Amino acid sequence: TFSVFLFLLTSDIPYFPKVLGKKKGAVGVGHPGLSRKRAYEQREKTIGVEHDRIGKVNKIIDKRIGEKNQSITSEEKASLRFTAERVKHLKKGSKFNLTDDNDDYQDMLTHGGKALTTIQKYDKTLGSEDEDDVGNIGADVVKVAHFGGGDLDSAANGLEKPT
C-beta separation of 8 from 16 below 8 A: yes
**Arithmetic mean of pLDDT, 10-22:** 65
**Arithmetic mean of pLDDT, 98-116:** 64
Q: Which helix (H) or strand (E) holds 4?
A: helix 2-10
Range of the domain at 144: 139-163
* Strands of 51-150, DSSP E: 110-111, 114-115
- The pLDDT confidence band at residue 25, using thresholds 50, 70 and 90, is low
C-beta separation of 2 from 9 below 8 A: no
Looking at the structure of the chain, the number of domains it has is: 1
- Residue 75 to residue 115: CA distance in whole angstroms: 47
- Residue 105 to residue 156: CA distance in whole angstroms: 53
Q: What is the pTM of this model?
A: 0.27
What pLDDT does 45 receive?
Answer: 92
> Would residue 147 count as lying in a domain?
yes
**Arithmetic mean of pLDDT, 53-76:** 85
> Would residue 151 count as lying in a domain?
yes
> Would residue 108 count as lying in a domain?
no
Give the residue with greater pLDDT, 48 vs 29: 48
Q: Which of 25, 45, 43 is nearest to 35 (CA)?
A: 43
What pLDDT does 38 receive?
Answer: 94
